[in-house]
Amino acid sequence: MDGKETIKIGVLVSGGGSNLQAIIDAVNVGALDVEIACVGADNPGAGGLARAEKAGIPTFVTDYSALFASRKDGAPLPGDFSLEEVAAKQSLLKDADPETLKAFFEKRALAEADLLARLAPYKIDLLVLAGFMRVFTPYFIDGLNAGSTLPRIMNIHPALLPAFPGTDGYGDTFRYGCKVGGCTVHFVDYGEDSGPIIGQHSFAILPEDDLDAVKKKGLAEEWRLFPECIQLYAEGRLNVVEREGTRVVNVLPGE
């Protein structure tokens, strides 16, 4: 972008990476004041990695499955990880017994420590989750957000939150019989898909639409919404405020 300051972002993917592609394309046409510093994946088969390589962006893999297995084999926990602290802050697991809770957070700590270490050299301003199918614990979120008043992790979700959080937003929307579907970009907090909403796009679900048609319409909206929200962040136009006990995003007017 001519003469404008750019922010550095990292992008995480788990799958094909069509949202990553939309972000790469938006950068290439000068629509984003952003440098994509790195692209990471939670599995070596993520198709998004090839898209990044083609665009000349450095990539890395934090292999969640392998790291989870290594914890079972007794791999040591990161020195700065405290189960008590994470358990007190989290709202991912409710009513879980102590053993389940311990296993859940300890194995994620290994993966999240690896992610934090791989991201650190890039000194990113913002981490963008573009189809990253892992939840983050307070260990990672606090590590990434350290030193910033604004949250630093942004996620895209395939439903109109707070409806249909979880792993199958379009499927859940379709099976419920909704007449409107949509996608949401939000900051990541300690819950699942529960953080402050930055932007949403909607689309009509027509009687003749099957699930594939819904996904197609939804993705087309995602590819427009995500770059819009990232650009708002880059322009410093997002503010998180407290409104009646809930943290919400205020979008400040542009110049």
What residue numbers does the annotated binding site cover?
Answer: 17-19, 89, 155
How many residues touch ligand GAR under the rule CB under 6 A: the total is: 16
**Which residue's beta carbon is nearest to the bound ligand GAR?**
131
Does 195 engage in binding with ligand GAR (CB under 6 A)?
no
CB of 167 to ligand GAR, least distance (A): 6
**Gyration radius from the chain CA atoms:** 18
Long-range contacts of 212-221 (CB under 8 A, 24+ apart): 214/170, 214/173, 214/174, 214/181, 215/158, 215/170, 217/181, 218/158, 218/169, 218/170, 218/181, 218/182, 218/183, 219/18, 219/19, 221/182, 221/183
- Active-site residue among 157, 186, 201, 215? 157
What is the sign, positive or negative, of the torsion defined by CA atoms of 246, 247, 248, 250?
A: positive
Residue 201 bears catalytic tag: no
Give residue for tokens 């900051």: 187
Does 222 engage in binding with ligand GAR (CB under 6 A)?
yes
CB of 253 to ligand GAR, least distance (A): 28
Using the rule CB under 6 A, give the single segment among 13-21, 25-33, 102-110, 138-146 that binds ligand GAR: 13-21
Q: What string marks each residue from 96 to 135 as x (binds ligand GAR by CB under 6 A) or -? A: ----------------------------------xx-x--
Interface with ligand GAR (CB under 6 A), residue from 27, 156, 214, 229: 156
Does 157 engage in binding with ligand GAR (CB under 6 A)?
yes
158: tokens are 């395939």
Does 49 engage in binding with ligand GAR (CB under 6 A)?
no
Site for ligand GAR in 17-36 (CB under 6 A): 17-19
CB of 44 to ligand GAR, least distance (A): 15
Does 153 engage in binding with ligand GAR (CB under 6 A)?
no
CB of 156 to ligand GAR, least distance (A): 5
Contact residues toward ligand GAR (CB under 6 A) are 13, 15-19, 130-131, 133, 156-158, 167, 169, 219, 222
Which positions are annotated as active-site residues? 157
